[in-house]
Amino acid sequence: MSQNASGYVNQRVLKINVGFLLNDGPGHSHNSRLDLPQTRVSDDVQVDYLNGALRLSRTKEGILVQAHLNAAVQAECYRCLTPTAHPITLDIEELYATQPESDSEFRIHEDGILDLSPLLRAEIVIVGMERVLCHEECQGLCPTCGANLNTDSCRCDLDNVDPRLAALRQLLD
């Protein structure tokens, strides 16, 4: 597998030729395994790894894609903004239609190529919307000076507290 200058594997690896399944007819299936290193799923989504079981089943309407995949996406800690790898699990079940008049969002191209990229991007964006912490005890950023309290000591004067928050200051004492 060749990697480009950015270190990510090109998203072409997510295009699967399913012509053999289309010719076999309904009722046939193919089981395989994805095991990809850093991969660019789309222009705005990259994963550090993507692996798991993939099942392609031929139906009358097209190809049913079922997968249980593990991946890690780069995210920012919502407290301190430190980049961190966020492991996610994707459970996918989607029908790729073969008929052009179908109202399915995902289609198989005329050349028999099934592109997993749009489906994976959508699933990763949905699952990756949760808040990510670099670690459970993350102290975040100082609201006054912006120092990362996990690595730096804050130089702010805590005695000059906004009078509206003075009652909260007493809780720290």
The answer to whether the beta carbons of residues 118 and 94 sit under 8 Å apart is: no
Pull the structure tokens for residue 2: 């060749």
Over residues 6-42, the pLDDT tens digits come to 667 777 888 889 988 888 888 899 999 999 999 888 8
Partners of residue 96 on adjacent β-strands? 63
CA–CA gap between residue 67 and residue 71 (Å, rounded): 12
Amino acid letter, residue 172? L
Cα dihedral: 153, 156, 158, 164 (round 10): -130
Indicate the SS3 state at residue 117.
helix
Average pLDDT, the chain: 85
The answer to whether the beta carbons of residues 8 and 40 sit under 8 Å apart is: yes
Indicate the SS3 state at residue 85.
strand
Is the pLDDT at 58 greater than 70? The verdict is yes
Pull the structure tokens for residue 158: 């805590």
Is the pLDDT at 119 greater than 70? The verdict is yes
Over residues 72-117, the pLDDT tens digits come to 988 889 999 999 889 999 999 999 998 877 777 888 888 889 999 9
Partners of residue 74 on adjacent β-strands? 85
